[in-house]
Structure 1
């Protein structure tokens, strides 16, 4: 199956689809899911185009309308001129699809927006199970490959649960994720690391957003405010209400107000159920359901402490959701009234401290995990995250932004060998010798807690670079690495 010329990146995913479509076994079922606008449908349409088959996208129809839509797709593919399909149920639909694909010498059937079908036909997964078992034992037809696709992550993941009829019958379980920060920069065709960083802090790596923006990225960081006014903060732009649109994807979310309250609290830095409850005036026990819904729907991520067994830290998964919660919604009437300059000026401190700062820390961890060479980290690394360390003398607890364990070490083990510790600062000032001395102090405290970290590399990340004294000192030491935005985006 030839790779399409217009496919950007996604090499791993394409290779997995090639492997899935191939082979001679009678039937395979695959599941492709992920947040909306990640390129799932685009990828599957090209799979059908390259391998041959039938792609049908469900709408929010009733059962009979959905069956008629499938029937129309089958008729367009059928080699029999003028044929009309009348499908009584999903069993007949699947049998007819197999027959038509077999006649056409094709093998792929894509049911996109599968959760819409389950709304009116909850039996469909059981029907697929029985169909799979029948075809698996029938060696007369050509191989058949069925791909189920959807954006409601909780619904699609339920298909993989132990109680699902399809559990144990799926050969492909592909979660299509956003592009990482380097892929996103190339996708937007941004070469300036500072500009790439701030755009990613707002929009993340979602593949579909450039199509919604239409005007392309800003030409320079100084043009970001004007660009945001035309796009994300423009009430006429689809991106202006994207967070509410994404929430509607999950069928469990009816009243959005309590979920927005949780998202706002987490965006503002509340990272535990107790802190979130305190921010929105609810007991943490009452938050169990909304936190579970937002997590399984892909809006929240729970980050474990890489060294200690303690409650995970909760953060927002999608940068655009975070941006709207912190910038747009608190000033909604101003943006709706096009009082953009006034609203944006009032949001500057929040944008710098609560969006750019945490986002820079996150990208620094991603750099260590995805791009740093063993020359930079001193050795191959395993788990990457953050941790806390106590200072008994000052009675303070310090947070380490970047911690990487040595490859093969077990996470949440206080005695694990630590390969890297680092701190990240997104401020406008350059980092100094004082920052290195602080990191050395934290390494000693970490060793006092039992960590094997005497040889750990010290990584200082600075969005605005480093002063001359720090650069001169680092050049003489083998255990210190300085990483600015240019190295973050281009180096290893």
Structure 2
């Protein structure tokens, strides 16, 4: 089944969903799709239902159970071309059975029913997953539907994760568990229609890759970095706009019932935004014991608001960062400038916040974009046979100093870690020089001293402003250097120099 032209990217997701639909199994099959708000789940599933001739229904927040069943009955009636009164006041089991039967009549065993935002219905009808389990088990036993495909979807990640956990009803019954991710840097630039690489990077650093934000902006997308200044002041720093970062950050957390009204979760996010990168540091800022923070931190990680990683060379060193860009922007830019924002001095607020934005948002975001680019790159001449791409630190020979490595690619097939690549990723105002190579050579030597195999290591420099001619000449002469500029990260060309 061909993906509609209006669906940007999502090739792998579309392939997984169509494979789920087209499976030869003639019994009922269940699937789960999840992802944070505004990531494009509904858009993708609507397109899938339209392309396959399926039935798409969506739950509505804070709707009573009676109103929800009537809405479901109305959608079934429209799909079947009959009057809604024929379904009467049917219960959930009858409605589900009827909907599945109709999709099978329309499209055969691959008939599709999509239930979007299932957590809204589960708030008043927690029996729904159990009913789906019942219909599934009947079908498997040859006593129910001969075919049919049901996909349930939701944005409340704690609810969606719970569907398939432990002894829950859908555990072991869902054939697909697809979590939709935001767009990468290059796809976000295409989605917003931004051709200027520097502007696209800044836009992605502020909002991330959630495509739903574009329709919320009342101002045309910025085409240059100069236009970006006015765009920021008129959108994410304007309390009157839907894109106002404070409103969006609060909305995202309210979306998940696990975080509703929880001051502790907000405090943890504030602490991480302030620079706390471990449970111990977070506890120190909040004056709480580390043990009491374990579960709320895990919940924020599971919901996609925090990123919790282990240093690949030092597995006991946890690194916790803000994963959602709009929440990061709110905590680092909007909150410190809230007085100026509240008094409509938004341009001044952005001017004051730009040093913070550059050092604590743009710089780390560019590093992550460099790592994402390397993870996705198929050429083994560039990423080697690395199974892991991350950031790390390495101690000098005397253990008196720690040196950060922005990008490291590791191959752990052998007993010790083989270092395929180490790199610097700098979002500075100047072109990079041979000094960056000198530093990478020193880091390579330190890694070798710690027992890591550096014989295949490529030295990489990622830069937003390009490279000095001396660095380009040296890189070409050496043959073990990779130089990647910002247009390359956006898919507009090949690396300036490659091994």
Change (3 A) 1:5 1:472: closer
Superposition pairs for residues 263-282 of structure 1, below 5 Å? Answer: 263-282=269-288
Call closer, same or farther: CA 1:409–1:387 in 2, change over 3 Å: farther
Map of 2:118 onto structure 1: 114
Structure 1 range deviating more: 83-92 or 438-447: 83-92
Residues 331-388 of structure 1: per-residue CA shift (max 9 Å, x gap): 22321221112212221221111001111111111121113633334x3322101121
Alignment correspondent of 2:405: 400
> What is the CA-CA distance between 1:103 and the residue it aligns to?
4.6
Distance in 1 (CA, whole Å) between partners of 2:344 and 2:58 is 37
Q: Say yes or no: does 1:34 pair with 2:35.
A: yes
Task: Name the residue aligned to 1:368.
Answer: 374
Partner of 2:297: 291
Q: Taking structure 1 as reference, are residues 41 and 90 closer, same or farther at Cα in structure 2, changes over 3 Å only? A: same
Q: 1:3 to 1:142 in 2, by over 3 A?
A: farther
Q: Is the 8 A contact 2:100 2:112 kept in 1?
A: no
State which drifts further: 135-144 or 71-80.
135-144
Spell out the pairing of 1:59-458 with structure 2 (5 A cutoff): 59=60, 60-81=62-83, 83-105=85-107, 107-138=111-142, 142-240=146-244, 241-371=247-377, 373-377=379-383, 379-393=384-398, 395-406=400-411, 409=413, 415-458=416-459
Report how far residue 11 of structure 1 moved. 1.2
Instruction: Pick closer, same or farther for the CA change 1:270–1:79 going to 2, 3 Å.
Output: same
Alignment deviations for residues 17-58 of structure 1 (CA, whole Å, 9 cap, x no partner): 211122351211110110111111111112111112221111
CA spacing shift, 1:135–1:394, aligned 2, 3 Å = closer
Q: Contact 2:185 / 2:369 at 8 angstroms: preserved in 1?
A: yes
For residues 87 and 93 of structure 1, what CA distance do their matches in structure 2 show? 9
Residue 20, structure 1, aligned to residue 20, structure 2: yes
Structure 2 CA distance for aligned equivalents of residues 177 and 278 of structure 1: 32
Question: What secondary structure is seen at the aligned counterpart in 2 of 1:238?
Answer: coil
Structure 1 Cα separation of the partners of residues 92 and 338 of structure 2: 46
Distance 2:489 2:26 in 1: 45
Check 1:80–1:355 CA distance in 2 against 1; reply closer, same or farther (3 A cut).
closer
Distance change (3 Å), C-alpha of 1:96 and 1:307: same
Separation (CA, whole Å) in 1 of partners of 2:408 and 2:351: 35
Distance in structure 2 (CA, Å) of the matches to 1:442 and 1:104 = 63
Cα distance in 2, alignment partners of residues 159 and 372 from structure 1? 34
Instruction: State the match for 1:3 in structure 2.
Output: 3
Q: CA deviation at 1:140?
A: 7.8
Q: Distance in 2 between matches of 1:82 and 1:228?
A: 47
Distance 1:103 1:403, change over 3 A: closer
Residue 435 of structure 1 aligns to a residue whose secondary structure is helix
Give the superposed CA RMSD.
Answer: 2.0
- Deviation of 1:471 after TM superposition, in Å, equals 2.3
* 1:105–1:142 Cα contact (<8 Å) kept: no
- Are 2:230 and 2:347, in contact at CA under 8 Å, matched by a contact in 1? no
Residues 252, 280 of structure 1: alpha-carbon distance in 2 compared, 3 angstrom cutoff: same
Q: Distance in 2 between matches of 1:101 and 1:148?
A: 15
Take 2:369 and 2:440, find their aligned partners in 1: how far apart are those partners? Answer: 19
TM-score (norm 1): 0.94
Uncovered stretches (5+) of structure 1, i.e. residues with no partner: none
Matched residue of 2:150: which SS? Answer: strand
Structure 2 length-normalised TM:
0.92
- Contact 2:52-2:107 at 8 Å conserved across structures: no
Q: CA deviation at 1:256?
A: 4.2
**2-side partners of 1:484 and 1:178: how far apart?**
22
Maintained 8 Å contact 2:422/2:460: yes
After superposition, what is the alpha-carbon deviation per residue over 1:160-210, rounded to whole angstroms, capped at 9, x for unaligned?
213211111111111111011111111112222111111111111111111
Structure 2 stretches of 5 or more lacking a match?
A: none
Alpha-carbon distance in 2 for matches of 1:139, 1:283: 54
Local SS of the residue matching 2:421 = strand
Deviation at 1:227, TM superposition (A): 0.9
Deviations 1:45-72 (A, max 9, x none): 1211111222111112222222111111
CA distance in 2, matches of 1:2, 1:389: 48
Query: Are residues 91 and 428 of structure 1, via their aligned partners in 2, closer, same or farther at CA, if it must alter by over 3 Å?
Result: same
Whole-angstrom CA distance in 2 between matches of 1:140 and 1:328: 55
Aligned counterparts of 1:367 and 1:32: Cα–Cα separation in 2: 25
- Tell me, yes or no, if the aligned pair for 1:71 and 1:85 is still in contact at 8 Å: yes
The answer as to whether partners of 2:73 and 2:84 remain within 8 angstroms in 1 is: no
Distance 1:391 1:373, change over 3 A: same
| Further displaced range: 468-477 or 320-329 | 468-477
